[in-house]
A and B are shown apart, each in its own frame.
Chain A
Amino acid sequence: MEKMRSDDAGVIVVGGGHAGVEAAHAAAKMGVPTLLLTGDPERICTLPCNPSIGGSAKGQLVREIDALGGAMGVLADSCSLHARFLNESKGPAVRALRQLMDKPSYNRAALRLLQRLPALQIEAAMVEALIVVAGEVRGVRCADGRAFFARHIVLATGTFLGGKLFRGEEVQPGGRYAEAPAIGLSHALHELGFSMQRLKTGTPPRVDRNSVDYGAMRVQEPSATPLLFSRRSEARFVGAQLPCYLIDTNARTHALVRENLHRSPLYGLDLIRGIGPRYCPSIEDKVVKFAHNPTHQLFIEPEGWEEPTLYVGGFSTSLPAEVQIQMLQTLPGMEQCEMLRAGYAVEYDMVAPTELDDTLQTRRIAGLYHCGQLNGTSGYEEAAAQGLLAGANAALAARGREPLRIARSEGYIGVLVDDLVGKGVDEPYRMMTSRAEHRVLLRHDNADRRLTPHGRDIGLVDDEQWTGFCEEIAVLDREIAESERCRLPVREVAGERFQGPPTLAEALRRPQIHIEDLRAWLPEGLGAETGERLEIEIKLEGYVKREEQAVAQAARRERLVIPHDFAYDRVQALSTEAREKLLRQRPRTLGAAARVPGVAPADVAILSLHLQRREERPRGVAP
């Protein structure tokens, strides 16, 4: 390693999944010399579980990553074989894009994107230990004896830390299917004093697409027009758009599960200690916990244009392989199916995210950043979002610049990080719209308004993206202003009557009137997406204003920084529990303190009073 000497102000990223790739991409794109260490560089971003990117709340995360100048949106758009908007009827704030990936393309596209970054170098290496001097990270040591040095290191180890795979009675060490786990690094983190937890997740079996009868399944068609995450992507289909299929389990499937529960590592064998996600239960869990449901819906999804495998969504299992094939063959259209790969459960170590501050740097060791499943999240999008933040902050620190922080009111990324570092996790954390209190503001359509200026500030948004953003916003704002002025020459639109000729905005505020109904009075060149944004911004104006007021009211709390050395133990009025939690977690702001579990509104009021006193004191005047 010649480019990376001990005095190098560079960044090392450990791990080549969605978190690691996004971190390395961000740091290198910002121009900081970056080294990505991963077990097998050919296998970065392999999408080891489901083939989809986006979905409810996750789609918003992808848009946010894209708005900040990250990779995931562009990568997904270039591999999409099925795209669909979810929640279209439920409201603009929860509308979300979901795409299915051609898995081999995604892996190749990610590699190509990274290889084009001049500041990035990729090395095959299994990191076994961290080099820490006086509480600061200085480098990493690998299994083959090599060492790499940097003062800013991002760990994105996914499910590899102490990874163990389960299928029936079989238990083997592994991070993913057919890949060895990272045992040494897990020990190393434990030795450094990090608080570790054990989680579990799983993946369903894959079947041969040529061995099933689609005729027995319900079809789910993809969108007829190209739907994209990134404005930087060309609005066209990159390949054939494939349908998905829905089927249901039946009594025979459930009987097989029940008969074989004694061979389940989770139930009968009792081998798994890690906690699995409630929102992604295995078929065993579904049959046991929802015994009254006669059927469960399954989602049959292609994993690529040429890939022979179908993903059986909703059928995650760790029963023995021979039981899995029997279970599959009870399903409609799958009676003759061939199973190409059996499902399995994976158990892995994570580090409690309460060890981190809101820049994803560990409090224990300066310069060390954690992101992705290592922090107890699940999902490609959650991993990538943290990867971007960790990578960008490592790069900013290397440059001696202020870190990037995203508020809960600015993005799902902010909600994600604040939840993680403030509350910790007790199951794999998945982003959901219900976690975001300001979700009227956190829409897929305005991610760029919210975050592209931040991305530009830190040097992650390039000139091309910035120019595109500025032009788009200029057009949008002009059209919004125009729509308040421009009166339509009619008194009836789409069956809705008005007293006099309405303005375009007045018409749009009616729930039943949509932008398509007003096409005739809009500028010809106005893009479909800009039109949609126009409609959403006008329709939601009242809701947005109210939410912004709420945010402004809460802003004082969010801005009120608690001094790093605040003596919680001397504030007698705090409850014992709150005092302990606050001492341990040391939230940065009063707002973050309020969200620490165990801290009651009364405790927040007490803290607020004490902080106010500190604020007042220098001036000695009344509030």
Chain B
Amino acid sequence: MKRSASTRVDHLQIAIPAGSEEAARAFYGALLALREVPKPPELRARGGLWFQSGAMAVHLGVDPDFRPATKGHVAFACAEYAALLARLRAAAIAIRTDSIPLQGRAHCYVDDPFGNRIELIDDAPDAANVDTSAEPTIVAVATPPGHGAIAIVRLSGAEARAIAAKLVAGVALEPRRATRVALVDESGRPIDDALALAFPAPHSATGEDVVEFHLHGAPVLAREVVRAAIACGARQAGPGEFTRRAFLAGKIDLDGVGAIGDLIAAETASAARAALANLGGGLLAKVTAMRATLREPLEQLAASIDFPDEVEEPARAPLAETLHALEGELAQLQRDGEVGRLLREGVSLAIVGPPNAGKSSLLNALLGEERAIVSELPGTTRDSIEERFVVDGVAVRAVDTAGIRAHADRIEALGIERSERAFESARILLLVLDASIPLSPSAESLLARSEGRARIVFFNKADLDTSAVRAVSGISVIGSTRWPKTLHELRAAIAQLGWGTERPDLERAHLAFGEQFDAVARALDALRSACAALDAHEPLDLVGNDLRLVDAALAQLSPAEASEEMLASIFARFCIGK
């Protein structure tokens, strides 16, 4: 065998345009955190920079005829991959991720300031530094309930494989390969057929041992698997717990955590887009502007308190004007947040009505597919089921209830109780009444009970007869579930009660996360309190105290540190000092 002519790679050279050393230093030095080494004096005149990455020298050479290298590239293995990505993101550098791991390691591509392609590879040591052995093994349904053909139950933790072994009755699971299994519960009773997938640590979503079961979409089956797993020693996962573990294992960075939760929960493409838009900084710009508005009066107040002999306190009238304007903006942000919440959580709708009025047929028509069991016998829908359909990009969570009847058999009692709960809690009520026969006492009672609620009264079966139709409050729709026009009218009515006539605007839906929404609500509360204190002629410090709470709440939406900034600005604006 011929001996290789070279013994090793000595260095890499990346071309940069003339005079761009500072930009290069900012990228390779500050962002990628490569260590800069001085160029030998004899080579300095040519420009360029030298860096060191581990044992490898990286030279940036000036090319007068510079053209970016878009295919050939240097790949850096990064020990702090997640932190680096966060840094790059903060510097608004586009990251092109690649979902196919490179020999089990995450990697992505970025461009340097000159368009040179750079690859970054996660070089974290395999056994993640986090000691996960003491974490209890958790289990939960990973797919949204009542939705989709497949439900996924996920187990994560050191015991995941042992617990799974009991549920699959000892069938061997090959890593990362779907195996068909017959699931059984803790006492060996069969549950369902399923696919099982094992992801050994650390190459799993959470960095722990993970086992997933893919079941038929019936929620009750998924719940049963979770129950059995708990009986075998797992613990029900808390909200966000999988994400938390993934985060602790360095699988995702914190900036992504909130948005990932939303992406998982996003029921529709619109919500997914709003969650993404939120990462883009539209909210940040708004919050920054609001804080800037607050800063001047806050500074003047702070300066007048700490230097009372030298700085006048802010005048009340202009302050009141500023605050009321800000209140308007915050209220708008809160309304925008409602849009975000609507897109995230959807709007709840209860379909109620006497037996056999056509509730299940209506739901099926709205869903566009057969879901609920339809029968000519009254009372066949034994349980309320939740299904989702989309209107104007918003998820409508519809609960079809068992008929609310005066005389119900015992089997139906539970269903009726659930219907009652759905009736009480839904944002919108959709009353389905049979227009072809005289209204029954239960229909009359439903009409009376739903008076004053956001309701749609749908007189169904108008293709047969309309003798029972009468004027009622709220929105009335007369038609048939078989008529497309009727379905269209019902959708329009849902939109009108759910979010008004204006279609939810994604551009305005800045508050994608619950915590952000809470922060805005807190800010608005404190601002209203400040306005009230100002109007009641309370001392200005108390007004200022509220305003600082406003600022603190807003600060939670933006990363900047407040107090030092403010002091610096005070000293720049006021000449203070004895």
Q: Mark B227-250, 1 if CB is under 8 A from A, else 0.
A: 000000001001000001001101
CA distance A451 to B313 in the complex (A): 31
From known contacts A94-B541, A622-B238, infer whether A434 and B567 are also in contact, taking CB-CB under 8 Å.
yes
Interface residues on A, range: 35 or more
**How many residues from B make CB contacts under 8 Å with A?**
55
Hey, which chain B residues are within 8 Å of A574, CB to CB?
83
B577, A280: Cβ atoms closer than 8 Å: yes
Beta-carbon nearest neighbor of B128 in chain A:
A572
- Report B298-340 residues with CB < 8 Å from chain A CB: 302, 304-310, 313
From known contacts A56-B306, A597-B561, A605-B254, infer whether A91 and B248 are also in contact, taking CB-CB under 8 Å.
no
A609, B134: Cβ atoms closer than 8 Å: no
CA distance A601 to B562 in the complex (A): 13
Shortest CB-to-CB span from A619 to chain B, Å, is 10
Beta-carbon nearest neighbor of B567 in chain A:
A434
CA distance A621 to B136 in the complex (A): 8
CA distance A89 to B312 in the complex (A): 12
CA distance A273 to B408 in the complex (A): 90
A434, B124: Cβ atoms closer than 8 Å: no
- Report A547-576 residues with CB < 8 Å from chain B CB: 570-576
A94, B305: Cβ atoms closer than 8 Å: yes
A492 interfacial by beta-carbon distance below 8 Å: no
CA distance A432 to B235 in the complex (A): 50
From known contacts A432-B302, A572-B82, A575-B86, infer whether A91 and B542 are also in contact, taking CB-CB under 8 Å.
yes
Hey, which chain B residues are within 8 Å of A57, CB to CB?
306
Hey, which chain A residues are within 8 Å of B571, CB to CB?
278-279
Hey, which chain B residues are within 8 Å of A573, CB to CB?
82-83, 247-248, 250, 253-254
Beta-carbon nearest neighbor of B237 in chain A:
A622
From known contacts A279-B577, A575-B87, infer whether A87 and B308 are also in contact, taking CB-CB under 8 Å.
yes
CA distance A617 to B133 in the complex (A): 10
CA distance A622 to B87 in the complex (A): 32
CA distance A529 to B244 in the complex (A): 53
Q: Mark A601-623, 1 if CB is under 8 A from B, else 0.
A: 11001100110010001001111
Shortest CB-to-CB span from A344 to chain B, Å, is 16
Hey, which chain A residues are within 8 Å of B570, CB to CB?
434
B541, A434: Cβ atoms closer than 8 Å: no
Shortest CB-to-CB span from B36 to chain A, Å, is 16
B539 interfacial by beta-carbon distance below 8 Å: yes
CA distance A540 to B545 in the complex (A): 12
- Report A421-443 residues with CB < 8 Å from chain B CB: 432-435, 437, 439-440
B46 interfacial by beta-carbon distance below 8 Å: no
Shortest CB-to-CB span from B30 to chain A, Å, is 11
Shortest CB-to-CB span from B4 to chain A, Å, is 36
A86 interfacial by beta-carbon distance below 8 Å: yes
Question: Which residue, B310, B564, B566, B578, has most C-beta atoms of chain A within 10 A?
Answer: B578
Hey, which chain A residues are within 8 Å of B548, CB to CB?
437
Hey, which chain A residues are within 8 Å of B552, CB to CB?
437
A623, B238: Cβ atoms closer than 8 Å: yes
A91, B247: Cβ atoms closer than 8 Å: no
A511, B536: Cβ atoms closer than 8 Å: yes
Hey, which chain B residues are within 8 Å of A89, CB to CB?
539
Point out the residue from A293, A600, A601, A620 that lies within 8 Å of B134, measured CB to CB: A620
Beta-carbon nearest neighbor of A430 in chain B:
B306
Hey, which chain A residues are within 8 Å of B244, CB to CB?
609
CA distance A440 to B545 in the complex (A): 8
B563 interfacial by beta-carbon distance below 8 Å: yes
Shortest CB-to-CB span from B478 to chain A, Å, is 53
A297 interfacial by beta-carbon distance below 8 Å: yes
B545, A439: Cβ atoms closer than 8 Å: yes
Beta-carbon nearest neighbor of B251 in chain A:
A573
A433, B575: Cβ atoms closer than 8 Å: no
B82, A433: Cβ atoms closer than 8 Å: no
Hey, which chain B residues are within 8 Å of A91, CB to CB?
538-542, 544-545
Beta-carbon nearest neighbor of B299 in chain A:
A434
CA distance A574 to B84 in the complex (A): 10
Hey, which chain B residues are within 8 Å of A50, CB to CB?
578
B563, A434: Cβ atoms closer than 8 Å: yes
Hey, which chain A residues are within 8 Å of B250, CB to CB?
572-573
Hey, which chain A residues are within 8 Å of B541, CB to CB?
87, 90-94
B540, A313: Cβ atoms closer than 8 Å: no
A54 interfacial by beta-carbon distance below 8 Å: no
Hey, which chain B residues are within 8 Å of A86, CB to CB?
308-309
B302, A434: Cβ atoms closer than 8 Å: yes
B136, A622: Cβ atoms closer than 8 Å: yes
B537 interfacial by beta-carbon distance below 8 Å: yes
Shortest CB-to-CB span from B281 to chain A, Å, is 16
CA distance A91 to B571 in the complex (A): 23
Point out the residue from A279, A570, A597 that lies within 8 Å of B307, measured CB to CB: A279
- Report A71-103 residues with CB < 8 Å from chain B CB: 86-87, 89-94
B566, A572: Cβ atoms closer than 8 Å: no
Hey, which chain B residues are within 8 Å of A278, CB to CB?
567, 571, 576-577
A620, B248: Cβ atoms closer than 8 Å: no
Shortest CB-to-CB span from A205 to chain B, Å, is 13
Hey, which chain A residues are within 8 Å of B544, CB to CB?
91
Hey, which chain B residues are within 8 Å of A262, CB to CB?
none
From known contacts A434-B563, A605-B254, A622-B136, infer whether A314 and B578 are also in contact, taking CB-CB under 8 Å.
yes
A289 interfacial by beta-carbon distance below 8 Å: yes
Shortest CB-to-CB span from A246 to chain B, Å, is 8
Beta-carbon nearest neighbor of B538 in chain A:
A511
B174 interfacial by beta-carbon distance below 8 Å: no
A177 interfacial by beta-carbon distance below 8 Å: no
Point out the residue from B540, B567, B577 that lies within 8 Å of A314, measured CB to CB: B577
A434, B561: Cβ atoms closer than 8 Å: no
Hey, which chain B residues are within 8 Å of A434, CB to CB?
302, 305-306, 563, 566-567, 570
Shortest CB-to-CB span from A295 to chain B, Å, is 10
A601, B309: Cβ atoms closer than 8 Å: no
A622, B235: Cβ atoms closer than 8 Å: yes
CA distance A413 to B472 in the complex (A): 68
A543 interfacial by beta-carbon distance below 8 Å: yes
B370 interfacial by beta-carbon distance below 8 Å: no
Beta-carbon nearest neighbor of B576 in chain A:
A279
Shortest CB-to-CB span from B410 to chain A, Å, is 37
A512 interfacial by beta-carbon distance below 8 Å: yes
A433, B306: Cβ atoms closer than 8 Å: yes
Hey, which chain A residues are within 8 Å of B79, CB to CB?
572
Beta-carbon nearest neighbor of B80 in chain A:
A572
- Report B13-33 residues with CB < 8 Å from chain A CB: 33
B255 interfacial by beta-carbon distance below 8 Å: yes
Shortest CB-to-CB span from B54 to chain A, Å, is 16
Minimum-distance CB pairs A-B, first 4: A91-B541, A91-B539, A313-B578, A278-B571
7 further interface pairs, Cβ-Cβ under 8 Å (given A511-B536, A512-B537) = A86-B308, A278-B567, A279-B571, A434-B305, A570-B129, A605-B254, A620-B134
Can you pick out 16 interface pairs between chain A and chain B where the beta carbons lie within 8 Å of each other?
Answer: A91-B540, A91-B542, A92-B539, A93-B541, A279-B306, A279-B576, A286-B575, A290-B575, A313-B578, A316-B577, A432-B567, A434-B563, A573-B82, A617-B134, A620-B134, A621-B136
